[in-house]
A and B are shown apart, each in its own frame.
Chain A
Amino acid sequence: QTVVTQEPSFSVSPGGTVTLTCGLSSGSVSTSYYPSWYQQTPGQAPRTLIYNTNTRSSGVPDRFSGSILGNKAALTITGAQADDESHYYCVLYMGSGLSNWVFGGGTKLTVL
C-alpha cells in the first residue's frame, strides 16, 4: 500500500523561508501525480493553496510556491507570517482504480 510521507512538524522564524516536502514510501513523486497542497487551521475546513505541482489557487499569496525537489513534491513559504502557522497537507493522484487520491499525514508548521 502506497504511503505519502510528510514531515510531522516544522518550525520557521517570522520572515524566514521553509520548505515542506511530500514523498512516497516507494518511488519518486513527479508531476504525473498532480501534487496539490492544502492549509488547515484548527476547527476550519482546509483551504487549497497549490495544485498541479506549482499553480497557486485563486487568492493565495505568491509567497507560497510549489515545485518538485529531487524525488518529492515541495511547498515553499517565503517570508513566513504568524498566520501561516497551520497544518499543511499534500495529496497525490494515484491514477484510476481504488484509492485514487492519497493524502500525506500532514505537517504542523509553527512560526516562532
Chain B
Amino acid sequence: EVQLVESGGGLVQPGGSLKLSCAASGFTFSGYWMHWVRQAPGKGLFWVSRIDTDGSSTTYADSVKGRFTISRDNAKNTLYLQMNSLRAEDTAVYYCVRGGHGLNYFDYWGQGTPVTVSS
C-alpha cells in the first residue's frame, strides 16, 4: 500500500524557515516524480514544486521560486521541502504527492502537514 506521511509543519514567524519531510513507503520511491501541493485555509489547491526521480531537475511555482527548495533522498525514501523567507500567504496545509507515471498528474496524496506563518 502506498503511504506518504508528511511531518515538520508548525508555527513560524514571517521571514523564518521551516523544512518539511515526507516519508514514502509501499512503492519504489526512486522511480517516481514527487510534488508538493498546498492548500490555504478555506481555499483551493495550489501546486508548489516538483522533483524528478533522481533529483537532478526541479521546478517551482512563481510565488515560491527562490525561497523554497525541493529535494529528495532516495536511500531514505524521503522527500523534503525547505522553505525560507516565509510569508503569511504561505500559511497552508502542505501535501506530499506522488506523480503519476509519465502522464503529468498526481496519483497518491499524503494527509498533509499544516504550516502557519504568523507573528
What is A's interface to B at a CB cutoff of 8 Å? 34, 36, 38, 40, 45-48, 51-52, 55, 57, 87, 89, 91, 93, 96-106
Q: Does B47 count as interface, using CB distance less than 8 angstroms?
A: yes
Task: Give chain A residues whose Cβ lies under 8 Å from the Cβ of B106.
Answer: 36, 38, 46, 48, 91
Taking a contact as CB atoms closer than 8 A, the residue among A36, A48, A96 that contacts B109 in the complex is A48
Pairwise interchain contact B47-A106, C-beta atoms closer than 8 A: no
Q: How far is the CB of B58 from chain A (nearest CB, A)?
A: 11
- Bound state CA distance, A61 and B100, in angstroms? 19
Contacts across chains A and B counted by CB atoms under 8 Å: 70
Q: Which of B70-119 contact A (CB under 8 A)?
A: 95, 100, 103-112
Task: Give chain B residues whose Cβ lies under 8 Å from the Cβ of A47.
Answer: 109
- Bound state CA distance, A38 and B37, in angstroms? 13
Pairwise interchain contact B62-A99, C-beta atoms closer than 8 A: yes
Q: How far is the CB of A32 from chain B (nearest CB, A)?
A: 10
Task: Give chain A residues whose Cβ lies under 8 Å from the Cβ of B104.
Answer: 34, 36, 93, 100-101
Which of chain A's residues has its CB closest to B60's CB?
A98
